[in-house]
């Protein structure tokens, strides 16, 4: 059987877009068919119907109205689908046979530009990865703003660098070459970015076509001009990114014009666990901004500034001069309150220039967008004069990269009315005086319009019909309306057009004549206004590069001002930065917790860590006393300083850190589910394998998720390893293994710290004060008391504790040979000979030790528990 012609057309088009849901335009609807319809009806909760298409059965079909499509497309994109938009590309009125249709755009998670699908405080990145045997390239862009960057990742750890870049960028979509899946990296990439991920065919990764695409896009003659001549993998990644964009966007991408080539060595590398644990841009569990570092620091005035701050927090600097430059600028903005306030007022009036520029380039900008652009530009001259000669090199450089954009201001001001409508095709956009043609068209209907406007009064007077009205509707045009009671007064020249319940509507030949002149002219006026508007928009397109560099400077300024604002409000100080090893913080505070304590005040604490005698701070103390808070505040202060922000302390000297690692032991992390101990150990392995002399490591209760023996041995070996291997690495280690504190004095670099606790009448009071030395007791029982555990149980526990303490549960230092720790394997062997606890082997404990938690199912676990319980009771 033959397919209907329309269905044949659908099939032909769908053939080329198998991986997309095809939105097929039919009149006022986008229709979907077959599999697409089944998927879409399920995901969008819309009714599935059927359409006959020349076969016996009917084709599954569903549809959405075209004017509400954005909403539905957004939902599908969120769920990880791609949507191909197929439009009618000729006028159905004039088409011969079936209307021609074409796919005009493919919308994917990384290429969304519609305002309603974007979050204004977040970039929407598309990233492209190219992996080879010797290195990797990464390129990423935000089509909505025009930002585009590329980097070459080489050296021994290029794969790890690649993963960290993806973690940092947090693209909404990642594309990659085949080698990525052959190398088994797909999962890692998916995991790092949490994005929609796909492998592109080899035609995207052809060296010649990649180079061509790059040269064409950036309008240069050679790769050298772009600074990527020695970055073969970056060029491949970039070329594939551009080809993918051309293919999906099918339109002007001229705003992707300023390639930012960067070097990963310029930034602190932060891995996914660290970014999460330090709660830089969102909280760990609830994923909220409030409660994160960003939540405290982000007082930016513009959406661009907010996006920029997010970027900065995820990529702190590690080059001295750049950090100092930012800190100096923040210092000036902190001291010069008037200057800061003035700039803030100007910033408030600036719209999202980056995304305005994006919409202008893609031809999506309407009259309101141009007015927003104009109003933003209005403050630029004042902003520039505030900054010029302010005396700070960075701020003055920002000033020079801002253009006052006077031409654009003048153009929009001359051409576009102050309050234009949302639509661009229905007139009402262009000011009088901008175009002679337009003005004379408008003049030509003034007489007609005023004649119609005056008609009602004239006719009332003439006919004596008091209720006479002149109205307009789309079907009949202008009409004269007369209510029933006046029918006998209707004059001869009125022609009846429509009868309603209480009235009749008439026209006159004269009215129709004037009407046709007016309506014809109005169509022409609307058309001309549209053409003029597009012309203006195209003229502005020529300035996109300048708008972009201006908005880039504004976003940086916005972040610096926000840093200064928050810093002075919260009493931050300027840290001093150097290339040494010591980190010295006096009276440091946790930036987030200090603001969230409900009763009482935050207790400040000092930190000193270096690579000589204090490289390993071993922190003990009861639960809830503030160990984790102390370690994180140290990490956050270092990180803030290296993004150019002032810090919550009374003084801080920071020897630059190239990476921060933060790990939380398994038991603190149970919400993650599955085998947390395995995760913990693989994260530990990652740290030990990748940390450098310049790194800072925060370990919180590592080794907790396994039996005491195991856990203690692991924790001990970690301490040894970090104190001895490859030179010492600055580490803060909170542990509940008191036994480890015995190592102080036997291991260079190790310092015991604990959190001071006062005991009062058998109760404990947390002072949250970090002091030297080890905690005398574990206080677990006291904490249990605080938490409301029954008195009887507490007494029993105390009895047992004193029994245990007398039986000598401690590290036997006589058997510990300090020198042996130099070689880790021997140290591990030693650990086995050392008795930590002097208990006889217990069958239940032995059985527990023999379990492999990685392979046990919940139901097995339950039956083992039953078995153990029986054994214990017998
Ligand atoms: P630990 O890691 O020792 O179990 P946390 O660091 O998680 O303890 O701190 C527990 C709680 O104690 C925090 O949520 C906070 O409310 C409070 N706290 C911690 N440090 C301080 C401090 N320096 N000043 C005041 N309160 C603090
Ligand atoms: Mg803790």
d(CA 678, CA 710): 13
Alpha carbon 839 to its chain centroid, in Å, reads 53
Residue 607 and residue 706 in one domain: yes
| Whether pLDDT at 670 is above 80 | no
pLDDT of residue 675: 60
Q: Which ligand is nearest to the CA of 664?
A: 2
Per the listing, tokens 């979907």 go with 32
Residue of the CA atom closest to atom 13 of ligand 1: 626
Q: Would the pLDDT of 835 be above 70?
A: no
Query: How many DSSP H helices and E strands does the chain contain?
Result: 32, 26
834 domain residue, yes or no: no
Tell how strand 576-578 and strand 503-507 pair up: unpaired
Asked if 308 and 326 touch (Cβ cutoff 8 Å), the reply is: no
750 SS3 class: strand
**Contact at 8 Å (CB) between 425 and 530?**
yes
CB of 505 closer than 8 Å to CB of 476:
yes
Same domain, 241 and 311: no
Average pLDDT value for residue range 492-504: 88
Question: CA angle at residue 819 from 815 to 824, to 5 degrees?
Answer: 90
777 falls in which pLDDT band (50, 70, 90)? low
Report the pLDDT value the prediction gives residue 65, as an integer from 0 to 100. 92
Q: What is the Cα–Cα distance from 145 to 140, expressed in whole angstroms?
A: 12
Task: Verify whether ligand 1 is closer than 6 Å to residue 307 (CB atom).
Answer: no
pLDDT digits (tens, 9 = 90+) for 696-733: 999 988 776 666 777 788 888 888 888 875 678 999 99
Confidence of residue 871 (pLDDT cuts 50, 70, 90): confident
**466 in a domain, yes or no?**
yes
Listed residue (151, 146, 150) closest to 123, CA to CA: 146
d(CA 600, ligand 1 centre) in Å: 12
Q: What is the mean pLDDT of residues 453-479?
A: 88
Rg (CA), the chain: 35
pLDDT value of residue 780 = 66
User: Is 70 exceeded by the pLDDT of residue 676?
Assistant: no
Atom number in ligand 1 closest to CA 604: 23
Q: List residues bridging with 744 in a β-sheet.
A: 747
Same domain, 624 and 762: yes
**Ligand 1 contact, 629 CB (< 6 A):** yes
CATH number at residue 731: 3.40.50.300
Strand partners, 731: 616, 697
User: Atom of ligand 1 at shortest distance to CA of 590?
Assistant: 23
Q: What is the spatial distance between Cα 336 and Cα 328, in angstroms, rounded to a whole number? A: 12
Rounded-to-integer distance, Cα 471 and Cα 480, Å: 6
Task: Note whether 278 and 291 are within 8 A (CB).
Answer: no
Q: Are residues 251 and 121 in the same domain?
A: yes
Q: Which ligand is nearest to the CA of 755?
A: 1
The distance from CA 747 to its chain's CA centroid, rounded to whole angstroms, is: 43
Instruction: Return the CATH number at 328.
Output: 1.10.1420.10
pLDDT at residue 786 is higher than 80? no
**For 424-573, where are the alpha helices, taking DSSP H only?**
436-444, 446-463, 509-541, 544-570
pLDDT digits (tens, 9 = 90+) for 591-641: 999 999 877 789 999 999 999 889 999 998 888 889 999 999 999 999 999
Q: Which of 581, 639, 642, 638 is nearest to 325 (CA)?
A: 642
- 526, 555, 570 - which closes a domain: 570
- Name the percent of the chain lying above pLDDT 70: 92
pLDDT of amino acid 821? 39
Residue 606 near residue 275 (C-beta atoms within 8 A): no
Confidence of residue 375 (pLDDT cuts 50, 70, 90): very high
Write b or e for each residue in 479-490: b if 16 or more Cβ atoms lie within 10 A of its Cβ, otherwise e. Answer: bbbbeeebeeeb
pLDDT grade for 343, boundaries at 50, 70 and 90: very high
447 contacts: CB under 8 Å, gap ≥ 6? none
What angle separates helix 353-362 from helix 544-570, to the nearest 10 degrees? 160
- In a domain? residue 707: yes
Is the model's pLDDT at 205 over the cut of 70?
Answer: yes
Q: From atom 19 of ligand 1, which residue's Cα is the shortest distance away?
A: 626
Q: Which residue has the tokens 């990659």?
A: 176
In a domain, 187, yes or no: yes
Give the per-residue pLDDT at 136. Answer: 94
CA of 747 to the centre of ligand 2 (A): 25
733 and 634 in one domain?
yes
Q: CA 190, CA 186: separation in Å to the nearest integer?
A: 6
Ligand 1: residue whose CA is nearest its atom 18 = 626
CATH (domain of 208): 3.30.420.110
Cβ of residue 537 lying under 6 Å from some atom of ligand 1: no
CA 283 to chain centre: 14
CA dist 822 and 874 (Å) reads: 47
With a 6 A CB cut-off, is 582 part of the ligand 1 pocket?
Answer: no
Q: From the centroid of its chain, how far is CA 100?
A: 40
pLDDT-derived band at 840, boundaries 50, 70, 90: low
Ligand 2 centre from 683 Cα, in Å?
Answer: 18
Q: Compute the distance from residue 634 Cα to the ligand 2 centre, in Å.
A: 14
Determine contact, residues 419/377, Cβ cutoff 8 Å: no
CA distance 379 to 401: 15
Q: Please indicate whether residue 63, judged by its CB atom, sits closer than 6 Å to ligand 1.
A: no
- The helix/strand/coil state of 129 is strand
- Looking at the fold, whether 142 and 243 belong to one and the same domain comes out as yes
Instruction: Please tell me if the CB atom of residue 778 comes closer than 6 angstroms to any atom of ligand 1.
Output: no
Q: Which of 84, 107, 130 is the last residue of a domain?
A: 107
Separation of CA 628 and ligand 1 centre (Å): 7
DSSP letter (8 states) at residue 818: G
Instruction: Please work out, in degrees rounded to the nearest 5, the angle formed at the alpha carbon of residue 102 by the alpha carbons of 100 and 106.
Output: 165
Q: What does DSSP say about strands 58-65 and 49-52: parallel, antiparallel, or unpaired? A: antiparallel
**Helix (H) or strand (E) segment spanning residue 672:** none
Across 272-281, 540-549, 563-572, the highest mean pLDDT is recorded for 563-572
Residue 735 CA to ligand 2 centre (angstroms): 9
Is residue 831 included in any domain, yes or no? no
- Stated as kind and residue range, the H or E segment containing 183 is none
Q: Which two tokens stand for residue 620?
A: 């003990």
- The arrangement of strands across the sheet holding 495-499 comes to 469-473, 477-483, 503-507, 495-499
Q: Which of 277, 629, 787 to mutate to test the pocket of ligand 1 (most atoms within 8 A of CB)?
A: 629
Whether ligand 1 lies within 6 angstroms of the CB of 623 is answered as yes
* Closest ligand 1 atom to Cα of 755: 3
Report which DSSP code applies to 200.
P
Alpha carbon distance 659, 75 (integer Å):
38
Q: Which atom of ligand 1 is nearest to the CA of 589?
A: 23
Cβ neighbours of 508 (radius 10 Å) = 17
Q: Exposed (0-12), middle (13-18) or buried (19+): which is 524, by Cβ within 10 Å?
A: middle
Q: Of the ligands numbered here, which is closest to the C-alpha atom of 595?
A: 1
Residues 363 and 473 in one domain: no
CATH number of the domain to which 92 belongs = 3.40.1170.10
Same domain, yes or no, for 458 and 365?
no
CA of 663 to the centre of ligand 2 (A): 11
Centroid of chain to Cα 675: 29
For residue 400, report the phi and psi dihedrals to the nearest 5 degrees.
-65, -30
User: Which helix H or strand E contains 139, and what residues bound it?
Assistant: strand 136-142
Does a structural domain hold residue 337? Answer: yes
603 lines ligand 1 (CB under 6 A): yes
Question: How many angstroms separate the alpha carbon of residue 671 from the centre of ligand 1?
Answer: 20
Bigger pLDDT: 400 vs 803: 400
| Mean pLDDT along residues 107-131 | 89
**Mean pLDDT score of the chain, rounded to an integer?**
87
Residue 786 Cα to ligand 1 middle (Å): 15
Average pLDDT over residues 155-163: 88
Cα→Cα distances 795→77, 363, 761, 785, 790, Å: 59, 76, 15, 10, 9
Say which range, 85-89, 127-131, 302-306, 714-718, has the weakest mean pLDDT.
714-718
Confidence of residue 449 (pLDDT cuts 50, 70, 90): confident
Give rounded-to-5 percent helix, strand, coil for the chain. Answer: 50, 20, 30
624 and 755 part of one domain? yes
From the CB of 625, is ligand 1 less than 6 Å away?
yes
Tokens found for residue 707? 């039996």
Q: Is 60 exceeded by the pLDDT of residue 836?
A: no
On whether the CB atoms of residues 658 and 694 are closer than 8 A, the answer is yes
DSSP for 639-651 reads HHHHHT--BSSSE
Give distance in angstroms: CA of 294 to centre of ligand 1: 20
Q: Which pLDDT score, from 0 to 100, does residue 682 have? A: 79
Q: Residue 394's pLDDT is what?
A: 97
* pLDDT (tens digit per residue) in 137-151: 999 999 999 999 999
**Given ligand 1 and candidates 593, 619, 704, 767, which is best to mutate, with the most ligand atoms within 8 Å of its CB?**
593
Asked if 106 contacts 248 with a C-beta cutoff of 8 angstroms, the reply is: yes
Any ligand 1 atom below 6 A from CB of 626: yes
Q: Whose CA is nearest to atom 4 of ligand 1?
A: 624
Question: Is 318 a domain residue?
Answer: yes
How many angstroms separate the alpha carbon of residue 625 from the centre of ligand 2? Answer: 8
* CB 768 less than 6 A from any atom of ligand 1: yes
Of ligand 1's atoms, which has the minimum distance to the CA of residue 600?
A: 25
Tell which residue, 770, 778, 824, has the closest CA to residue 800. 778
Q: Tell me: pLDDT of 328 over 50.
A: yes
Q: Which residues constitute the domain of residue 484?
A: 436-537
The 3-class secondary structure across 760-772, one letter per residue, is ECCEEEEEEEEEE
Nearest CA to ligand 1 atom 5: 626
Ligand 1 atom 26 nearest Cα: 602
Distance of alpha carbon 687 from alpha carbon 666, whole angstroms: 16
pLDDT value at residue 810: 54
Number of domains in the chain: 6
Q: Which pair of structure tokens corresponds to residue 319?
A: 């080059």
CB-CB contact of 115 with 70 (8 Å): no
Domain ends where: 741, 762, 778? 778
| pLDDT confidence of residue 828 | 39
Higher pLDDT, 853 or 467: 467
CA of 286 to the centre of ligand 2 (A): 18
The answer to the question of residue 475 being in a domain is yes
Rounded to whole angstroms, the Cα distance separating 755 from 741 reads 13
Residue 391 tokens read as: 């005396």
Co-location of 747 and 863 in the same domain: no
Say if residue 745 is in the same domain as residue 626: yes
Give the rounded distance of the alpha carbon of 546 from its chain centre: 25
Cβ atoms 480, 507 nearer than 8 A: yes
**pLDDT tens, position by position, 551-560:** 999 999 999 9
The position carrying tokens 């928009």 is 537
Give residue 825's pLDDT band: very low, low, confident or very high (50, 70, 90): very low
pLDDT of residue 233: 94
Are 544 and 146 in contact by the 8 Å Cβ rule? The answer is: yes
The residues near 610 (Cβ < 8 Å, ≥ 6 apart) are 581, 582, 583, 655, 730
Mean pLDDT calculated for residue range 272-280: 91
pLDDT value of position 480: 92
Q: Are residues 241 and 309 in the same domain?
A: no
Is 354 or 673 the better-scoring residue by pLDDT? 354
Task: Report CA(662)–ligand 2 centroid distance (Å).
Answer: 12
């Amino acid at each position: 059987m033959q397919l209907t012609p329309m269905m044949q057309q659908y099939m032909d088009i769908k053939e080329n877009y198998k991986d997309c849901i095809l939105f097929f335009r039919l009149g006022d609807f986008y229709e979907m068919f077959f599999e697409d319809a089944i998927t879409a009806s399920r995901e969008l909760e819309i009714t599935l119907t059927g359409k006959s298409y020349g076969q016996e059965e009917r084709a599954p079909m569903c549809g959405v109205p075209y004017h509400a499509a954005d909403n539905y497309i957004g939902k599908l994109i969120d769920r990880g689908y791609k949507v191909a938009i197929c439009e009618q590309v000729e006028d159905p009125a004039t088409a011969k046979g079936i209307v021609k249709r074409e796919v005009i755009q493919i919308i994917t998670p990384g290429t969304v530009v519609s305002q309603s699908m974007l979050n204004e405080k977040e970039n929407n990145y598309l990233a492209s990865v190219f992996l080879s045997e010797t290195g990797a390239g990464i390129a990423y862009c935000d089509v909505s703003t025009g930002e585009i960057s590329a980097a070459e990742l080489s050296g021994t750890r290029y794969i790890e660098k690649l993963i960290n870049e993806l973690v940092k960028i947090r693209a909404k979509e990642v594309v990659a070459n085949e080698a990525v899946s052959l190398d088994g990296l797909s999962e890692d990439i998916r995991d790092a970015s949490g994005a929609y991920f796909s492998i592109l065919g080899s035609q995207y990764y052809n060296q010649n076509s990649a180079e061509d695409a790059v040269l064409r896009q950036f309008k240069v003659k050679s790769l050298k001009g772009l600074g990527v001549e020695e970055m073969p993998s970056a060029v491949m990644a970039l070329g594939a990114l551009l080809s993918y964009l051309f293919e999906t966007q099918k339109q002007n991408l001229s705003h992707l014009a300023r390639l930012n080539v960067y070097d990963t060595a310029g930034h602190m590398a932060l891995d996914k666990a660290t970014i999460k644990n330090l709660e830089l841009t969102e909280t760990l569990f609830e994923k909220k901004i409030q409660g994160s570092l960003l939540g405290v620091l982000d007082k930016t005035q513009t959406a661009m500034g907010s996006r920029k701050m997010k970027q900065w927090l995820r990529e702190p600097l590690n080059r001295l001069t750049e950090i100092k430059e930012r800190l100096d600028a923040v210092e000036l903005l902190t001291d010069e309150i008037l200057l800061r306030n003035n700039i803030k007022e100007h910033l408030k009036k600036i719209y999202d220039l980056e995304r305005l520029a994006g919409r202008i380039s893609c031809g999506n900008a309407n009259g309101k967008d141009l007015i927003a652009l104009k109003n933003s530009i209005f403050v630029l001259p004042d902003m520039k004069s505030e900054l010029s000669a302010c005396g700070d090199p960075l701020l003055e450089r920002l000033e020079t990269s801002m253009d006052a954009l006077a031409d654009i201001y003048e153009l929009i001001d001359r051409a576009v009315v102050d309050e234009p409508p949302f639509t661009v095709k229905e007139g009402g956009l262009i000011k009088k005086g901008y175009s002679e043609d337009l003005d004379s068209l408008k003049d030509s209907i003034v007489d007609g319009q005023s004649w119609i406007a005056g008609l009602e009064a004239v006719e009332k007077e003439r006919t004596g019909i008091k209720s006479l009205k002149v109205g307009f509707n789309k079907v009949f045009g202008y009409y004269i309306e007369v209510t029933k009671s006046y029918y006998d007064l209707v004059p001869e020249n009125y022609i009846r057009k429509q009868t309603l319940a209480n009235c009749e509507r008439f026209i006159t030949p004269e009215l129709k004549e004037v009407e046709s002149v007016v309506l014809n002219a109005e169509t022409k006026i609307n058309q001309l206004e549209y053409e003029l508007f597009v012309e203006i928009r195209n003229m502005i397109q020529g300035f996109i590069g300048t708008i972009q560099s201006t908005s880039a400077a504004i976003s940086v300024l916005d972040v610096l001002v926000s840093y200064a604002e928050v810093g002075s409000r919260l009493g931050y100080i300027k840290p001093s930065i150097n290339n040494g090893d010591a980190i010295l913080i006096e009276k440091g505070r946790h930036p987030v917790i200090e603001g969230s304590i409900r009763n009482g005040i935050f207790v400040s604490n000092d930190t000193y860590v270096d690579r000589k005698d204090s490289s390993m701070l071993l922190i003990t103390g009861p639960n809830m006393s503030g160990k984790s808070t102390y370690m994180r505040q140290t990490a956050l202060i270092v990180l803030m300083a290296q993004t150019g922000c002032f810090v919550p302390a009374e003084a801080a000297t920071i020897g630059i850190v190239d990476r921060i690692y933060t790990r939380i032991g398994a038991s603190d992390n149970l919400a993650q589910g599955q085998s947390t101990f395995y995760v913990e150990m693989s994260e530990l392995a990652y740290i030990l394998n990748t940390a450098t002399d310049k790194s800072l490591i925060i370990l919180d209760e590592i080794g907790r998720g396994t039996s005491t023996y195991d856990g203690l041995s692991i924790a001990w070996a970690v301490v040894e390893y970090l104190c001895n291997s490859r030179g010492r690495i600055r580490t803060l280690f909170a542990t509940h293994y008191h036994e480890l504190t015995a190592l102080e004095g036997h291991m260079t670099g190790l310092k015991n710290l604990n959190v001071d606790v006062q005991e009062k009448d058998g109760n404990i009071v947390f002072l949250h004060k970090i002091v030297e030395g080890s905690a005398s007791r574990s206080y677990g029982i006291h904490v249990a008391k605080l938490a409301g555990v029954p008195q009887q149980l507490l007494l029993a526990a105390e009895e047992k504790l004193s029994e245990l303490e007398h039986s000598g549960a401690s590290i036997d230092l006589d058997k510990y040979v300090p020198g042996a720790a130099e070689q880790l394997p021997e140290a591990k062997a030693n650990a086995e000979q050392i008795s930590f606890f002097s208990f006889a082997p217990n069958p239940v404990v032995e059985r527990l030790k023999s379990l492999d938690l990685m392979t046990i199912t919940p139901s097995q676990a339950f039956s083992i528990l039953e078995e153990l319980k029986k054994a214990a009771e017998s």
